[in-house]
Amino acid sequence: MTSPNIPLGRAVDYPRRYDPALLFPIPRAHGRAGLGLEIGGSLPFEGKDRWHAYELGWLDARGKPVVATATITVPAHSPQLIESKSLKLYLNSLNAARFEATGTVRERIAHDLSQAAGAPVEVAFGLPPIDAHDDAVSIDAIEVDCAVYDMPQPAFLEADAADVVDETLRSDLLKSNCPVTGQPDWASVRIAYRGPRIDHAGLLRYLVSFREHAEFHEQCVERIFVDLLARCRPHMLAVEARYTRRGGLDINPWRILPGMNAPVAARDLRQ
């Protein structure tokens, strides 16, 4: 991650020309091995990583600037995830490039990101709406003592098998750190499940225990999903994190049990 041959964790000049080589893929197997998921084995979840790009621009055929926003969707089954700083640099490299048509830009971005991820990546101009009427139950007002911040603690998770419920919980207190730069990553997390009632206080303490943990956004969401599945035994489970913007990008990974409907694409007010 800190090799002088890659752009992560160090100052990098603003790109002056289009350059897909700026994209830096990271094997998902690195993070999944730490979750006990076998390389090449079946995954206990389905999902996607939904990126929102707020600072996208290029030149039209006459050299006039064009600005846009975009939603980029990377499938969770792709062998690589795309590191966020490299994605920012790549998108910036389009700023001085000329394109004959808007559709050509979308196709070029989709092609380059698909090559980096190792699977088809979807690109659409525009952003999903703000979710101003979230009906999830916030657990953040619960009074709990917290003392562990540097390592996720799945032992904090408990569920009552005698009380089966269907509920969606939310916390805005999820924070972890980028494993490359050490910068904070802030997110709201939603957990929708059906099954034994999850202890809300224990769940909140568990999420707070990520506070100084260093892991990529996608890996944190998969860790939360796997820990909940193992400790609480839900019949249905969906975990989505909506991370706040950094460098004109935010990322929203979600993971669900196979057979469930995907979460409706939306943004938080904090995004």
Residue in the structure block whose two tokens are 């943004």:
267
The residue from 49, 131, 178, 250 that is catalytic is 178
Rounded CA-CA distance 118/172 in Å is 32
Q: Which amino acid is at 130?
A: I
> How far is Cα 67 from Cα 49, in angstroms, rounded to an integer?
23
Nearest to 156 by CA among 201, 194, 191: 201
Helix pair angle (102-117, 84-92), 10° resolution:
150
Contact partners, residue 246, CB within 8 Å, separation at least 6: 84, 183, 185
**Is 160 an active-site residue?**
no
Q: Is 178 a catalytic residue?
A: yes
User: Of the listed 49, 112, 131, 185, which one is catalytic?
Assistant: 185
The residues with which 160 forms a beta bridge, in sequence order, are 197
Contact 7, 86 (CB under 8 A): yes
Task: Give the span between the Cα atoms of 260 and 69, in whole angstroms.
Answer: 29
Provide the token pair at 38.
């076998």
Residue 43 CA to residue 39 CA, distance in Å, equals 9
Q: How far is CA 110 from CA 106, 107, 125, 154, 267, in A?
A: 6, 5, 11, 37, 22
Question: How big is the chain by its Cα radius of gyration, in Å?
Answer: 19
Catalytic residue ranges? 178, 185
